[in-house]
A and B are shown apart, each in its own frame.
Chain A
Amino acid sequence: MIELLWPALLAGSGIALVAGPLGSLMVWRRMAYFGDTMAHSGLLGVTLAVVLNLNLTAGIALVTTALALLLFTLQRQRRLPADTLLGIMSHGSLAIGMLVLAFSPTVRMDLSGLLFGDLLAVNGSDVVVVWVIVALALPVIGFAWRPLLAATVNEDLARAEGIATDWLRVLYLVLIALVIAVAMKIVGILLITALMIIPAAAARWLARTPEQMAIGASVLGLIAVWFGLAASWFANAPSGPTIVVAAVVAFMLTLGLSRLPRQN
């Protein structure tokens, strides 16, 4: 019986590893709502992929990336603030996704599994896809880390010092889109950003350098995924919420740990 847990555990671990540095950048850049909006549009990606008979992961990654690029174009105008635009896109794409799902007779999918994750939906080929993406994304993040950090601190300064910030931004968005695409089955569309934000925030309490925070977020994310999936398995609960609750517990624990009096 327990072998049914392995695909979710392996896939979840890969996602947590990548989500650590990407989530830290998301926190530093104050892009949590942005990530949420991208994730919500994932539902539209799922339905489009099914209707057009595309690969599911590719469908989600395409739609989320397209949405992110559209957002950047729209942000050039000044009449509406960025968070209003995000709200329109986030809820709009979620609603359209739900409607397409409801009116497509060919699509028979478990909605609650899409929204909140279903560990039993993860199969062997998903694990392969996750780890291929992890194997691509981690070196890319490592290679681009210093410029990404410089652009996060101050974009003008980074540009003046010769960093191609526009390309970095696109790269970052594509990476997030990929994580969203592969994480959807396990944590669900509504909770994907939680897996990026909460471990990073938890690591912040203890970190003294950006790298400590990024790696700490990966480690805490791994722990949250393992405990969450175990809890989901034994309590027969949806896996997304159990993972998020485990991450929140980790957040509280690191907060408590950082408040302990230091012995010098």
Chain B
Amino acid sequence: MSQPSSRLIEGRQLGVRLGGKTIISGVDIRIDAGQIVTLIGPNGAGKSTLIKALLGVHKITDGEFYAKPNLSVGYMPQRVPIDDSLPLAVHRLMTLTHRARRDEVLAALALTEVAHLIDRPVQQLSGGEFQRVMLARALLKQPDLLVLDEPVQGVDFSGEVALYKLIQRLRDERGYAVLMVSHDLHLVMAATDEVLCLNGHLCCSGTPESITQEPTFTSLFGPHQADALAFYSHHHDHEHDLAHQGGHSHD
């Protein structure tokens, strides 16, 4: 079982400057084991930058940062365009930096229901298949924390619902903590424990229910979005119906 109090990463007043330009500043973030934290915010708000800074891709230029020793992180970047000139099968993509046996790769792919694609060239995958493969890739090393940058990009609507449900299920069944970036506010809200709203700095944070009451949130996303979110987060059973339908129409 996951221990809600065990801290995986924590940052206080984090700032990142890239090429002399301040991208984010003053961000407080904490992720505990088994928690789903969603990062939202407009385009250019620094969501991907924050994620990459937490992962060590960008240097954190301000603030304090803690990561649990030997923390294992599975990362799924926002976009992974792979040149057509590179002959790469799914199996190789999965094991680029992490060596794993074929049956381990198959097991990870089975979690995201794409085991049949293991020998397929990556260029032949559809958007949804590719995202599922990348999610399986992040799961392969049994991480403590999954970091997903817009995991449903390029996926059709019914696929989106299914993918979010899958992420939630993985957390419930395996206790992974999840940090994800999302644009699809109303889809993701029902499945998240905490929402961080970013726009260069941290505008607001809290549970999905509480955040929609925040004036800064309303001003960033407009009252219409806030209402929509309130609607979904207060009508969980309705959201499940929607997901159910989506799953069927897809197959």
Contacts and interface: CB of A to CB of B under 8 A. Distances in A.
Interface of A: 27-30, 76, 146-147, 149-150, 152-154, 156-163, 201, 204, 207-210, 212-213
Nearest to A26: B85
Contacts of A159: 55-57
B8 to A, nearest CB: 15
Contacts of B56: 159-160
B97 A150 contact: yes
Interface residues of B, number: 22
A199 to B, nearest CB: 13
B87 A146 contact: no
21 contacts: A27-B85, A30-B83, A150-B96, A150-B97, A152-B86, A153-B80, A153-B86, A153-B88, A157-B75, A157-B80, A157-B97, A160-B55, A160-B56, A160-B75, A162-B97, A204-B85, A207-B87, A209-B92, A210-B86, A210-B87, A212-B87
Main secondary structure of the interface of B (DSSP, over half): loop
Contacts of A156: 52, 57, 77
Contacts, number: 68
A28 B85 contact: yes
B87 A208 contact: yes
B89 interface: yes
A123 B241 CA distance: 78
Contact of A28 (B52, B83, B92, B93): B83
Contacts of B57: 156, 159-160
A229 to B, nearest CB: 28
Sorted from nearest, which 4 A-B pairs have the closest CB atoms? A160-B55, A161-B97, A150-B96, A28-B86
Contacts of B77: 154, 156-157, 160
B69 interface: no
A146 B85 contact: no
Contacts of B93: 153
B161 to A, nearest CB: 26
A208 B89 contact: yes
A160 B86 contact: no
Contact of B96 (A28, A30, A76, A146): A146
Nearest to B122: A153
B87 A204 contact: yes
B1 interface: no
A98 to B, nearest CB: 33
Given A154-B80, A157-B75, A146 B97 contact: yes
B75 A161 contact: yes
Main secondary structure of the interface of A (DSSP, over half): helix
B155 interface: no
A209 to B, nearest CB: 6
A82 B139 CA distance: 36
Contact of A158 (B19, B82, B92, B97): B97
B98 interface: yes
A153 B56 CA distance: 18
Contacts of A157: 75, 77, 80, 96-97
B85 A161 contact: no
Interface string B70-104: 00010101001011011111001100111000000
Contacts of B83: 27-30
A159 B83 CA distance: 19
B87 A153 contact: no
A149 B82 CA distance: 11
Contacts of B98: 161
Contacts of A161: 75, 96-98
Contacts of B52: 156, 160
Contact of A209 (B19, B55, B82, B89): B89
B88 A210 contact: yes
Interface in B92-137: 92-93, 96-98, 121
Contacts of A210: 86-88, 92
Nearest to A212: B87
A102 B93 CA distance: 51
- Interface centre among B52, B55, B87, B93, by most chain A C-beta atoms within 10 angstroms, is B87
Nearest to B147: A160
A153 B85 contact: no
B96 A209 contact: no
A156 B78 CA distance: 10
Contact of B19 (A30, A76, A212): A76
A47 B91 CA distance: 49
Nearest to B99: A146
B97 A209 contact: no
A142 to B, nearest CB: 16
Contacts of A160: 52, 55-57, 73, 75, 77
